[in-house]
Copies of this chain bind each other. A is one copy, B any other.
């Protein structure tokens, strides 16, 4: 089970034709309304982000989705599977190189990703990740699922920007691109998950100008430098 819309058995090929001589278990009665799946999964993610996996109850999710508890259990066999499916169905950030910013400089590309919407989306996903933490040990496959949905896309974007910079000769080709692409996702996650601070523009700029760009040999331009002791927070 990976995608919620595929949790049911594959559609009967011709549900309208009854003319089957042999064993053809045609479904009778009201059909399951799969148009509600996204709302339920969305509710699960919201509760997950707010209360964490252990604090989350099925009743909370059902109430938030305005659905009955039994409906949830008709579609997912357990709380764990529901959460797993919700994470798997999380819409990934766009990593299509064609739709990514391409400003001609590494710094331009990296800072172009600092947009309110992007920051909000990232924060929300990290809150979801925080809610998943207690589940990661008991559900090993969740590590891959969550990584694929939340971490990998961010890393992929950074990798693209770095590779472009190498290709255009802006930075040397012997940089450790893989490790560098992990820097900001790791440090942003750490900041949200452990430090419980927000990931704001200043923090992201301090990563770009204080770590990434210097590490590829691009000293920071005329401006920049974060005031001692980190950026604004608010926890």
Contact = CB atoms under 8 A, between A and B. Distances in A.
A193 B229 contact: no
A98 interface: no
Contacts of A209: 176
A212 to B, nearest CB: 8
B178 A187 contact: no
Interface in A216-235: 216-217, 219, 225-226, 228-230, 233-235
A105 to B, nearest CB: 15
Interface string A176-188: 1011101101110
Given A143-B195, A217-B225, A211 B179 contact: yes
Contacts of A178: 226, 228-230
Nearest to A191: B186
A165 to B, nearest CB: 14
This chain's copy number in the assembly: 2
Contacts of A54: 54, 134
A7 interface: no
Contact of A129 (B194, B210, B229, B230): B194
A189 interface: yes
A93 interface: no
A233 B226 CA distance: 24
Given A206-B179, A214-B216, A215-B211, A136 B229 contact: no
Contact of A217 (B140, B210, B226): B226
Nearest to A150: B194
B194 A189 contact: yes
A172 to B, nearest CB: 5
Closest 10 CB pairs of A and B: A176-B210, A133-B133, A186-B190, A134-B134, A215-B215, A179-B210, A214-B215, A54-B54, A186-B187, A172-B225
21 contacts: A55-B138, A130-B137, A133-B133, A134-B134, A143-B196, A146-B194, A147-B195, A175-B210, A175-B214, A176-B211, A176-B226, A178-B229, A179-B210, A179-B230, A185-B190, A186-B191, A187-B187, A193-B193, A193-B194, A214-B216, A214-B217
